[in-house]
Amino acid sequence: MTTSTSVTASPTFLDRVRTYSPPRRYLPVAATVALLIGMFGAGSLRYQGFADPQVVLNLFVDNAFLLVLGVGMTFVILTGGIDLSVGSVVALSTMIAASTLQAGWPAPVTIIAVLVSGTLLGTLMGLVIHYFEVQPFIASLAVMFLARGLCYLISVESIPIREGTFTAFAQGSVPLPGGYHVTPSVVVAVVVFAIGAWVLHMTRFGRTVYAVGGSESSAHLMGLRVAFVKVGVYTISGLCSALAGLLFAAYTLSGYSLHAVGMELDAIAAVVIGGTLLTGGRGLLLGTMFGVLLLGTIQTFISFDGTLSSWWTKISIGTLLLIFVVIQRLLTRRQN
Amino acid sequence: MRELLRRPLFWSTLALLLLIALNTAVTPSFLSVRLQDGHLYGSLIDILRNGAPVLLVALGMTLVIATRGIDLSVGAVAAIAGAVACVYIAGSDRPAATSTVVSAVALAVGVCILLGLWNGFLVSVFGIQPIIATLVLMTAGRGLAMLITDGQITTVVNPAFKVLGAGFVATLPVAILIALAVFAVTAVLARRTALGMLIESVGINPEASRLAGVRARTITWTVYVFCAFCAGVAGLMIASNTSAADANNAGLWIELDAILAVVIGGTSLAGGKFSLLGTLVGAMFIQTLATTIPTIGIPAEANYLFKAVVVIAVCLLQSPRARAAFRSRRPVSTVKAGAA
């Protein structure tokens, strides 16, 4: 690449277009975007009303909590870790919210209680992972069991939420120009995403996340705050899970211990499909958003079709996961 | 020193005995086993019978973990096995015949072996991290099982199929006998031949083993096939016990129970050494715990909480940091954990 600068003839615009290849780190994201556009193209050709902008907005409406989870999961996976507890923490958050509201707590206190408990669980997990060198997989598995068990201790039954603030939030609508609308939870999710993107791509903390994912021992030798960042990403994931739990509680207006079973897999799938390397160190938060949208599009596709059953969702998510894992593998192999 | 070496098995056995003692204190009849209509009955027998699927899956998982891998897809594979067998039996000309069951079981096991080949292919040939490679089948597998059963809970009425999960032979439940038979064969193969050592060497360093002349790739591939086989048999037991294939709930979270059993049994998740006897004790511990919790008056669903406490305790005991603290020595330079 560097030797080509000595070529005297300046390349024409056409040459530049013809020989342009995007930086390799954008390739997986580009593949996801291409797939997303392709699916939307196919969908709008096959089904009437598929290309309606409200359908796109509904992807956000129905997956706001998944986007929030994905933000936290991206941080964790970028450090080379994994967090299996997010689904259970979502369920626990809905349970805490529903039961405290039922007990008559004011909504702000409930919200703070949920956020604090989720964050604490995440921090604890991070501490165990970093200081006791327990594998992230197994430590988050323990927290997954812990959170589910706590759910059942609170109640085995589903608890409805009838509190005013939550119902108002759930039924609220944010009008957009052109007669379209989204729900307030989309606003929350987009704000979380923006903050996440800022922290990850613009701050020292974010750069350290990438450094730890690239090589933990090198990051350590460079004098980076490895311990702080490693515990930090699990704290962020815990906070995001609690927040996603609040959104989910508002979405379903209930707390139930069987909420969000398997949602950790959706979150991981979204991150992977978004092009973040599972070995850590490479990936973009924007990719995760496209990953979430792609998962949402699959569901939309299946609901528009009507003849396909809902289990095709799982099969297609699995297939996509496979395709992207193989792409990742080929990319990293070529690099080595 | 000798006791230190044996510590994992020692602690898990002690924990199991303590649980049994607790149960006996709460329900004095816990240990009693009675003979009724030529079948053995009692809490202990129930624990063994209900624990058979977990034990089977944990056996396969032990070998996979010994190669520094993990198989998350076992629950989905179990569901697929049940679905294949039940759909085959329900759709055959003679749904009550024994010969139908034989071919159904053969077909289900065959499908599971194919799934194991698939997992093993992704891990050993493509070189994808095990946790991710098997995550694919974990995600898609239940969808596949739904596809096979067409989204229904397929029920079958077949006395021969019922035997597999709920039958008795020579006063003992068939499920236990099958699990113990697989356990015995595995133990003999792993400990009386070089296979166990080869698996461990692959777990310690696949590349070095390959250079030393071990067929690392074949061994890795084989353990995933074996794991899927075990999961398939476990799935058949579950389906037979309920006489139905429930694609959504059969074997739900059995992969986590199996991993838990393996970890409690003292097998390190970092690979390289395994204890089959430890896995046996671990699986029994989990099943006894599941029985104990409702007995002492806590809602049965809360056993997740207790499992979590056990996992955390075991991990802390296993962690290098805690061990170093035990020996009051500074930790040796730590290597980043491989599978994450």
**Cα nearest neighbour of A154 on chain B:** B302
Residue A72's nearest CA partner among A32, A33, A126 is A126
Q: What is the pLDDT of residue A156?
A: 85
Mean pLDDT for B96-110 is: 90
pLDDT of residue B334: 46
Task: Note whether residue A14 is domain-resident.
Answer: no
> Which residues constitute the domain of residue A279?
25-335
Q: In which band, very low, low, confident or very high, does the pLDDT at B63 lie, cut at 50, 70 and 90?
A: very high
- Comparing CA positions, the residue from B300, B257, B263 lying closest to residue B278 is B263
For residue A312, is it within any domain?
A: yes
Rounded Cα distance between A188 and B96, Å, is 57
Judged by CB atoms closer than 8 Å, whether chains meet at A318 and B304 is answered as no
Question: A75 in a domain, yes or no?
Answer: yes
Task: Indicate whether A9 belongs to any domain.
Answer: no
Residue A13 lies in a domain: no
Query: Which of these, A261, A248, A260, lies nearest to A98 by C-alpha position?
Result: A248
Domain boundaries of chain B, sorted by first residue: 38-320
Q: How does pLDDT run across B19-60, given as a tens digit for each residue?
A: 888 888 888 877 777 777 777 777 888 888 889 999 999 999
**Interfacial B residues in 140-169 facing A (CB < 8 Å):** 140-144, 146-147, 151
Q: How many CB atoms lie within 10 A of CB A323?
A: 14
Is there a contact between A136 and B340 if contact means CB atoms under 8 Å apart?
yes
Put simply, whether the predicted model's pTM sits higher than 0.95 gets the answer: no
Q: Which of B261, B60, B248 is nearest to B154 (CA)?
A: B248
Q: Which residues contact B226 (CB under 8 A, 6 or more apart)?
A: B60, B63, B116, B186
The chain-wide mean pLDDT, for chain B, equals 84
Could you tell me if A280 and A214 are in contact, meaning their C-beta atoms sit under 8 angstroms apart? yes
State the pLDDT at residue A335.
58
Q: Which residues in A lie closer than 8 A to residue B340 (C-beta atoms)? A: 80-82, 135-137
Cα B63 to Cα B71: distance, rounded to the nearest angstrom = 10
CA B260 to chain centre: 9
CA gap B337, B327 in Å, rounded: 22
Task: Name the residue with tokens 């039958």.
Answer: B167
* Count of domains for chain A: 1
Confidence of residue B3 (pLDDT cuts 50, 70, 90): low
For chain A, percent of residues with pLDDT exceeding 70: 94
Residue of B4, B147, B157 lying closest to B76 (CA atoms):
B147
- Please tell me which residue of chain B has the smallest CA distance to A264: B139
Give the CATH number of the domain where residue A229 resides.
Answer: 1.10.3470
Confidence of residue A48 (pLDDT cuts 50, 70, 90): confident
B97 has a chain A CB within 8 A of its CB: no
Lowest mean pLDDT among A206-210, B127-131, B273-277, B301-305: B301-305
Q: What is the pLDDT of residue A300?
A: 87
Which class in CATH covers the domain with range B38-320?
A: mainly alpha
Greater confidence (B2 vs B263) lies with B263
Residue to test with chain A: of B73, B132, B150, most A Cβ within 10 A: B132
Which whole-number Å values give the CA distances from A139 to A83, A85, A93, A258, B121, in the listed order? 9, 9, 19, 21, 28
Q: Is A140 on the interface with B (CB under 8 A)?
A: no
pLDDT at A43 over 90: no
Q: Which of A186-195, B153-162, B276-285, B312-321 is predicted with the least confidence, judged by mean pLDDT?
A: B312-321
CB contact under 8 A, B142 and A278: no
CB B174 within 8 A of CB B167: yes
Rounded Cα–Cα distance for residues B13 and B15 (Å): 5
Mean pLDDT of B286-290: 89
